[in-house]
Amino acid sequence: MIDAEFIFKGGMTLVLVSVVLVAAIYALGFLRATFRHKRQLDKQARFNNILLHNMAAGVVACDNNGELCLFNDVAVDWHGADATRLPQADWSKHYDLFEADGTTPLTPDRIPLLRAFRGQPVRGQLITIAPKHKLRRLVSTNADAILDSNGQRIGAVAVMHDMSSEWATRQELEQRAYIDEQTGLLNRAGLTREIEKLVASGAGWEWSWAVLFLIDISGFRRLNQALGYDIGDTILAAVGNRLRGLLPPEASLARIGADEFGVLLGQVSTNEGAARAKLLALAESVQRTIGEPLDIGPNNLRLKLSIGASLFSPSSMGGDELLAQSGLALGQAKASEATPIVIYDSAMRDLLIERRALSAALEAALDNDEIEVVYQPQCNRAGRVVGVEALSRWAPDGVPCSPVQFISIAEDSGEIIRIGQSVLRKACAQLVAWASDPSRAGLSISVNVSAQELEAEDFALRTIEIVQQSGAPVDRLHLEITESLLLKNTEHSIKAIRQLRQNGLRVVLDDFGTGYSSLAYLAQLRVDALKIDRGFTARAGDGGRGDILLQSIVSLAKQLDLQIVAEGIESIEQLGHLEQMGCTLFQGFLFTPGVPADDIKTQYSLSQPGCSPTNVADPVPEPLSS
């Protein structure tokens, strides 16, 4: 019989052995799991290490004590220093960090990693890494504190992305915005920037008087048209080179318009009178040098200049203000052959203030649709009206402003395009209104096109859209384009005119005979009518060269099957001479000046009051319209 105690002990032993065996199995499994987890952790650590050191971005980190504890390979390369542990106080001693400008040292409170360590997240901070004997880099930096599972800070990390290439591209693009591509000189924006930098550098302390003067090549547009644009470009380059040779190295030279240059001279003299004398001496030297014969191919040219200048001090206004002052002086120099050099003074300042006030008022008038349109009839010899020309008028505060004045202001400010669109819309509306009036349904309306409108890439499409939206009969709308404007960009002009005519609009070549156009261009332009400039009609009947030129223009129009309109007719004698030459349509004060649409008659008698030149009060040339 088996001993019960033995059985009990044996059973306990078996249980213990089983427990030990199970525990051993679990322990072995735990050890295996731990080993696998460790291998996974090691593998993940190796992966993270490889990833960290092969990133294109630079990474630096600090521990909870604020000591640098991690640099990836990119950060080490950028900083040009070993990845050694460093306390915060020693960071700036070992690493050359600057603000984005590359010259202002980065103070500790501006270092991205320190900002993050102190609880301030950083996003996109631009700094410059500039170690000695290494490539300077502009980097965009993000930085954050590192927190444990309890939200306690255990360090901070900063990630840096190299922006040097993008920044260089951006700077190059910005630089291009200040350079005239044709001459390589500064453009108007570049000169304005240089003026403002000069003014800012002298603020708050005594310095010399400075000089800004603008130079206009007299008759350049005519030379451009007569000799070709390649010759014109050569002339501009030659003028630029001659100016460079005259100016001191510190002077800024710019091309600020098609035929205008600007020169900025800093610190000319501490005395205004002496500065003025130096200005005049240099301006006269410029005139002499530019006026020397210029041989370009078979052409021997002598250029003439107009110069407008202004003196300014540290208390002066900004670049736009100073350019406007010199521009006013240049305008007076161009208007006076006897005074080719004009210096801005206080009297011109009043004119400038007046122009600025009118410019602001004109902008408000356009916002409020206050530009009115009057119409001057175009008649046949019998006085029957066949069409009208739309002319813009403006009367600020009820006082009429000369179109010559406000159109000039609009051209300077760019508002001329808005005026042109306003006049076009009102002319279209008037055509729609006349369409229901049997006596006026056949009348056409001519609308002038400004240079800025014609130069716009979308000019034709925008014009067609306005006309089509209005519902006006397109064949009754005539667009008058000045001959000289067409030659500024002939290919663009030809394309625009084709688009207009393909959509039913008529095109009139205005001021014909004043723009020196070639017959080849005239053949390509395919216009519908020529309009003889008042400068020619005023000499009708003189029996000399004026009559010869007039007869030539009329004959040319007939041969090309173009309608011809003579403007500026003020006497019956002019009318008779032009009719004998073959003109069939006439416009001028002999019939009527511009009047509101409701006052337009369909028939004018030369014997009726108001139609004789002796009864027209102070006849003057019809001013420009938009």
Structure tokens at 99: 């603000």
Check residue 429 and give its pLDDT. 95
Residue closest to 477 by CA, chosen among 407, 380, 389 = 389
The CA angle 136-138-141, to the nearest 5 degrees, is: 135
Q: What is the rounded distance in angstroms from the CA atom of residue 124 to the CA atom of residue 135?
A: 21
- Quick one: the chain helix, strand, coil %, rounded to 5? 45, 25, 30
Q: Give the architecture-level CATH label for domain 177-344.
A: 2-Layer Sandwich (3.30)
Q: In CATH terms, are 58-168 and 356-613 the same topology? A: no
Residue 532: which H helix or E strand, with range? Answer: strand 529-532
Phi-psi region for residue 33, left (φ > 0), alpha (ψ -120 to 50) or beta?
alpha
3-state secondary structure of 386: strand
Q: Give the architecture-level CATH label for domain 356-613.
A: Alpha-Beta Barrel (3.20)
* Rg for the chain, CA atoms, rounded: 40
Check residue 92 and give its pLDDT. 63
Residue 29: which H helix or E strand, with range? Answer: helix 4-53
Check residue 326 and give its pLDDT. 87
Residue closest to 588 by CA, chosen among 609, 614, 566, 605 = 566
Q: What is the rounded distance in angstroms from the CA atom of residue 452 to the CA atom of residue 449?
A: 8
State residue 214 phi and psi, 5-degree precision: -110, 140
Check residue 52 and give its pLDDT. 64
Buried b (16+ CB within 10 A) or exposed e, 231-247: bbebbbebbbebbeeeb
- Domain map (residue ranges) of the chain: 58-168, 177-344, 356-613
Is the pTM higher than 0.75? no
Residue range 58-168 forms a domain whose CATH class is alpha beta
Check residue 122 and give its pLDDT. 93
Residue closest to 505 by CA, chosen among 471, 470, 469, 463 = 463
Q: What is the rounded distance in angstroms from the CA atom of residue 56 to the CA atom of residue 75?
A: 10
Check residue 87 and give its pLDDT. 78
Q: What is the rounded distance in angstroms from the CA atom of residue 622 to the CA atom of residue 626?
A: 12
Q: Say if strands 305-312 and 209-217 run parallel, antiparallel, or are unpaired.
A: antiparallel
Structure tokens at 151: 């939200």
186 with 253: CB under 8 angstroms? Answer: yes
Dump pLDDT digits (tens) for 290-325. Answer: 888 888 877 788 888 889 888 887 666 677 788 888
Check residue 426 and give its pLDDT. 96
Check residue 522 and give its pLDDT. 67
Dump pLDDT digits (tens) for 457-483. Answer: 889 999 999 999 999 999 999 999 876
Residue closest to 625 by CA, chosen among 527, 529, 493, 481 = 481
10-residue mean pLDDT profile of the chain (626 residues): values are 49 48 51 52 52 74 86 83 69 77 86 91 90 84 91 91 78 72 86 84 67 85 72 86 87 88 85 85 88 81 87 73 85 77 82 84 92 93 91 92 88 88 95 92 92 85 93 92 67 84 89 57 75 80 76 84 88 87 89 90 68 35 34
User: What's the longest Cα–Cα distance across the chain?
Assistant: 164
Beta-bridged to residue 253, according to DSSP, are 263
